[in-house]
Amino acid sequence: MSRFAVHVGDITKLQVDAIVNAANSSLLGGGGVDGAIHRAAGPELAIACRALNGCKTGDAKITMGYKLPARHVIHTVGPVWQGGDVGEDDLLASCYRRSLELANDNRLASIAFPAISTGRFLFPPDRAAAIAIETTRDHLQRPGSVESVVFCCFDDRAASHYLRLLSRTEA
C-alpha cells in the first residue's frame, strides 16, 4: 500500500495529524494557502506564530492546529523562484525535510503538504512536485518516520504533476 496520496481540495479541511503551511518569513499570515490556514485556524494561530519570531527560508516551525481538523500546523518558508540558479531546489527540499523532521519529532503519523512555493513564489510546479516527492520518499525510508503523506493540490492541473511522478516511481 502506498504511503502517498494526492488530494485536490482545501488543505484546511483535511483530517491529518499536521498540515503544512506555505508561509512567509513572518509566519503572521498572508495570501493563498497561508491566509486560508490562518483564517480557518482562528486568531490563536496568529498569537502562537507571533511567539515563534518568524522563520528562515528552508526551515520549519510547528504550532497547534487550533480550530482546524489537523492537530498541528507546520509552517515552512519556501524559496522565491529566481530562475533556478541560486539554490532554490535545495531550499525547497529543505522545507519538506524540516517539516517531516518536525512531524517525526512530535510523533505525528500523517501530514499534508500544499505545493510549496508554486503560487506567489513562482516555483515551476513540475519541478517543485519532483523535489517534493523525492525528498519525502527519501525521508520516509528512515525508521520511525511519518506513515502517510498527502500532497494537497489546489486544482487538477497541479495534482497531475504529482500523480504522473508517483505513478512512474511506484510502478
Domain with 110 in it: 4-170
- String of DSSP letters for 10-25: -GGG--SSEEEEEE-T
- Of 34, 126, 155, 156, which residue is the catalytic one? 34
Say what angle helices 125-140 and 156-170 make with each other, to 10 degrees. 40
> Per-residue pLDDT tens for 17-71?
999 999 999 999 888 899 999 999 999 999 999 999 999 999 999 999 999 999 9
> Who has greater pLDDT, 32 or 95?
95
Q: What does pTM read for this prediction?
A: 0.95
For residue 144, what is the enclosing H or E element?
Answer: none
List the CATH number of the domain containing 10: 3.40.220.10
> Per-residue pLDDT tens for 66-84?
999 999 999 999 999 999 9
Count of domains in the chain?
1
> Per-residue pLDDT tens for 105-141?
999 999 999 999 998 899 999 999 999 999 999 999 8
Q: Answer yes or no: 34 catalytic.
A: yes
Say what angle helices 43-51 and 32-41 make with each other, to 10 degrees. 110
